[in-house]
Structure 1
Amino acid sequence: MPDFDEFSFLSAQADDAGLAVTIPRGERLTLDLPDGRTLSGLRYGGPSPEVTFLHGAGLNAHTWDTTILALGRPALALDLAGHGDSSWREDAAYVPRMLAPDVVTAITAWTDRPQLLVGQSLGGLTAAPVAAGAPAFVRRLAIVDITPGVDPTAGPSQVRAFFAGPTDWASRDELVERALSFGLGGGSRDKAARGVWLNSRVRSDGRVEWKHHFAHLAAASSNDAGAAASAPNDALSALLSEAGWEDFAAVEAPILLIRAERGYVTVADAEEFSRRLPAAEVTSVDSGHNVQEDAPVVLAGLLAGLL
């Protein structure tokens, strides 16, 4: 169980975004998987979600909080394997086709209708095999700032260095200070603290660690820690493979690509997306890669149009 109320930040997030909204009821959901792992997610606004959200690498379901508040519709946000409160994979196979079955299981268990499936970065690449393999569960697909072939390591160097550092700390305050020293946290101590609290946990020995496995893999890789260090590189190779385009081509639902103008998807990448998938729509927003955090109200408006 969390050592704090993970939904206690919602009012502040609404205020930060200038939203005068009723704060929806949030609940933490947990599902035991056949292989012994645990799958976790957040459901907002009751038992009949209309939208399911998949986050990017190193993030968790709470990255969508402000977007969900602005959207004002019942929603499900999942913690992908190796992130948030979902179990880490022993094989470190955090690639779309390996992550997709968990998502299908969650949608089957925690929704009662076809979803608008929204995925950002790694979550966007995962959404494609979900929609291709389980078309009855996905009515529309929204992909946020990622396409097959885009290098997901192309982000700011300080983010990579930040996650490749120590894997545990004496306190969350220490981790907040580290985030601020790297220029992270949106320039606000309150926002940095919120992100740290929602993406970290206190171990039984009292030390604080990131919830997501990627930080530990990045640290291992930076230290040349044997075979485990190759896992991130193997994952990236799979992310960039032609299989990604095959999954998108097999999707029957309408697709919208939302490109962040200051993100990872270049104009040329978007043009290639349109060439390969001529029926898909493409739009751009003034945002960095994490559109759900940089421009949540704008993103919610685009998603409302799809609903």
Structure 2
Amino acid sequence: MYLNIFANGQQPLDMTDTDEFRSLLDSAADLGIPHARDIAYRSCNVVLRQMRFHFLDWGAADAPPIVLLHGGHQSAHSWDLVSLHLAQRYRVLALDQRGHGDSEWARDVAYSNHEMSLDAEAFIDTMGLRRPVLIGHSMGGRNAMLLTRRDPSRLGALVIVDVGPELSDKGRAAIAGFVQVNQEFDDLEHFIRNVRQYDPYRPREHIERTVKYNMLERADGKYVSKCDSNPRRLNIVRGSGLLENVSLDDATRFDLPVLLVRGAKSNILAPEAAERFADALPRGTLVTVPDCGHNVHGQNTKGFISALNGFLETQAGASAA
């Protein structure tokens, strides 16, 4: 049994009259996240590459587009506070990537970054988005980089959140460990305690409000992860080969504006690695957000929004000129 609400067919579902949306507004008020009073917010489904994908569509349909790609073991809802804020000026489309959230699980268990990057490319094309800003966190950031390497011209700008060509093995092992021990529970309180220990930056009440997007209730009454539980999912072990990895040399050909956002206490992207990545980018900017680790936009949402808005305003000014 699902614990959250989402569209169950081809017709978009208006989410603004749900308890979930009211809970989100409570979180925004707690954290001081600015947003408009009236926001369009819809749950939608689309078929891409012979699979059903769920996505959240925020803001006016004719506003400049932004596409969001979440990290591993997360969902499109990990961006909700950011999306709520951005929807004042942009059309924001947050995709549940294959095997995650409310999207379909891959029948062939194909969860490589390459396949996911092709999904994101198909999503942009199918939705008719012209040169969107693409924002990706962690796994989603790797997928975004692979898409960019194939064709930077299809994007207006790129935002990479706490990931890069050079990653910490210790940090990846910590994430893998958390994922592996958080698959099945007798009650949600156990999962909430684990998340609180792993992520001390987020208040307990905000974790409680979002747990519904990470777990579902199985027929036997146990709570299990919504992500495909096949061991090959989530890219816990980094894929090998050119299709799966972007190098610093590749980054020198990213001919578009790129914002690299690092959490000041990240255990995944070391300061020196972030600087090397930013230096390799022809039009790259590095911003380090304080008081957060790897999950920058969830742990210091206001700090992330501040960094992102500064970048987006720069791009809007350049377009106007």
| TM-score where L is the length of structure 1 | 0.81
Alignment of 1:82-121 (within 5 A): 82-121=99-138
User: What corresponds to 2:54 in structure 1?
Assistant: 40
> Does the aligned pair in 1 maintain the 2:76–2:96 contact within 8 Å?
yes
Alignment of 1:235-250 (within 5 A): 235-237=238-240, 243-245=246-248, 247-250=250-253
Deviation at 1:304, TM superposition (A): 2.2
Residues in 1 aligned to 2:49 and 2:244: alpha-carbon distance in whole angstroms: 28
Paired amino acid for 2:179? F
Deviation at 1:65, TM superposition (A): 1.2
Gaps of 5+ in 1: 221-227
Deviation at 1:163, TM superposition (A): 2.5
Residues in 1 aligned to 2:245 and 2:234: alpha-carbon distance in whole angstroms: 20
Residues in 2 aligned to 1:17 and 1:168: alpha-carbon distance in whole angstroms: 30
Do the aligned partners of residues 244 and 111 (structure 1) sit closer, same or farther apart at CA in structure 2, a change above 3 Å counting? farther
Q: Structure 2 residue aligned with 1:169, among 171, 174, 185?
A: 185
Deviations for 1:98-121, whole angstroms, at most 9, x for unmatched residues?
A: 211111121223354321111111
| Percentage of identical aligned residues | 27
> Does the aligned pair in 1 maintain the 2:74–2:100 contact within 8 Å?
yes
Deviation at 1:128, TM superposition (A): 1.4
User: What corresponds to 2:289 in structure 1?
Assistant: 285
Task: Tell me the secondary structure at the aligned position of residue 85 of structure 1.
Answer: coil
1:256 is the counterpart of 2:273: no
1:298 is the counterpart of 2:303: yes
Do the aligned partners of residues 249 and 89 (structure 1) sit closer, same or farther apart at CA in structure 2, a change above 3 Å counting? farther
Deviation at 1:69, TM superposition (A): 2.5
Residues in 1 aligned to 2:25 and 2:141: alpha-carbon distance in whole angstroms: 28
> Does the aligned pair in 1 maintain the 2:183–2:225 contact within 8 Å?
yes
User: What corresponds to 2:214 in structure 1?
Assistant: 199
Deviation at 1:125, TM superposition (A): 1.2
Residues in 2 aligned to 1:22 and 1:41: alpha-carbon distance in whole angstroms: 21
Q: Structure 2 residue aligned with 1:140, among 135, 139, 157?
A: 157
Deviations for 1:152-208, whole angstroms, at most 9, x for unmatched residues?
A: 760684x5444322633344345335544x454756432222231111223355432
Residues in 1 aligned to 2:200 and 2:280: alpha-carbon distance in whole angstroms: 36
Residues in 2 aligned to 1:148 and 1:8: alpha-carbon distance in whole angstroms: 39
Do the aligned partners of residues 194 and 244 (structure 1) sit closer, same or farther apart at CA in structure 2, a change above 3 Å counting? farther
Do the aligned partners of residues 174 and 101 (structure 1) sit closer, same or farther apart at CA in structure 2, a change above 3 Å counting? same
User: What corresponds to 1:7 in structure 2?
Assistant: 21
Aligned residue pairs total 292
Alignment of 1:257-276 (within 5 A): 257-263=260-266, 264-276=268-280
Residues in 2 aligned to 1:141 and 1:115: alpha-carbon distance in whole angstroms: 9
Do the aligned partners of residues 272 and 178 (structure 1) sit closer, same or farther apart at CA in structure 2, a change above 3 Å counting? closer
User: What corresponds to 2:72 in structure 1?
Assistant: 57
Gaps of 5+ in 2: 6-17, 313-321
Residues in 2 aligned to 1:87 and 1:126: alpha-carbon distance in whole angstroms: 18
Task: Tell me the secondary structure at the aligned position of residue 171 of structure 2.
Answer: coil
User: What corresponds to 1:223 in structure 2?
Assistant: none
Residues in 1 aligned to 2:52 and 2:35: alpha-carbon distance in whole angstroms: 32
User: What corresponds to 1:224 in structure 2?
Assistant: none
Q: Structure 2 residue aligned with 1:26, among 41, 46, 63?
A: 41
Residues in 1 aligned to 2:78 and 2:108: alpha-carbon distance in whole angstroms: 25
- Superposition CA RMSD, Å: 3.1
Deviation at 1:237, TM superposition (A): 4.1
> Does the aligned pair in 1 maintain the 2:111–2:233 contact within 8 Å?
no
Deviation at 1:248, TM superposition (A): 3.3
Deviation at 1:239, TM superposition (A): 9.3
Residues in 1 aligned to 2:161 and 2:4: alpha-carbon distance in whole angstroms: 32
Residues in 1 aligned to 2:206 and 2:173: alpha-carbon distance in whole angstroms: 19
Do the aligned partners of residues 41 and 232 (structure 1) sit closer, same or farther apart at CA in structure 2, a change above 3 Å counting? same
